[in-house]
């Protein structure tokens, strides 16, 4: 089971408290986890990645085991600590403005 920490506004859309959990088949990748989140929480479809291009939306960042995965290809396997549930995948909404 993969643990995912979502920003507050996405937790509100998904109507969940705390961490989200998802299952993926095979070696988990960022793309597989995002697909699983969108399947389990349909209100989140298109909020993390663009509907058409599947690219990360601006101001959304991905972190695993203290590493920024935001600019990594989405098909790269996630760290073992995330795959085993020892560490969560963090999806962070960046804040802009003054």
Average pLDDT score, the chain = 92
Pairwise CA distance, residues 79 & 53, whole Å: 25
pLDDT tens-digit profile of 11-34?
A: 999 999 999 999 998 889 999 999
Pairwise CA distance, residues 43 & 81, whole Å: 28
CATH number attached to the domain at 2-93: 3.10.20.30
DSSP code of 44? Answer: G
Concatenated DSSP letters of 56-90: BPTTEEEEETTEE-TTS-TTSBPPHHHHTTSSPEE
Domains in the chain: boundaries: 2-93
Q: How wide is the angle at C-alpha 53 spanned by C-alphas 2 and 56, nearest 5°?
A: 45
| Surface-to-core class of residue 37, CB atoms within 10 Å of its CB (0-12 exposed, 13-18 middle, 19+ buried) | buried
Average pLDDT over residues 62-90: 95
Residue 98's pLDDT band, with cuts at 50, 70 and 90, is: low
Pairwise CA distance, residues 49 & 26, whole Å: 22
Average pLDDT over residues 25-48: 94
């Amino acid at each position: 089971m993969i643990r995912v920490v979502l920003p507050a506004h996405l937790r509100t859309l998904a109507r969940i408290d705390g961490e989200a959990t998802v299952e993926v088949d095979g070696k988990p990748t960022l793309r597989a986890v995002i697909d699983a989140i969108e399947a389990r929480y349909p209100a989140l479809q298109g909020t993390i990645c663009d509907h058409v291009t599947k690219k990360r939306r601006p101001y959304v960042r991905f972190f695993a085991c203290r590493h920024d995965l935001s600019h990594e290809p989405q098909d790269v396997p996630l760290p073992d600590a995330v795959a085993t549930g020892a560490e969560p995948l963090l999806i962070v909404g960046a804040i802009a403005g003054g």
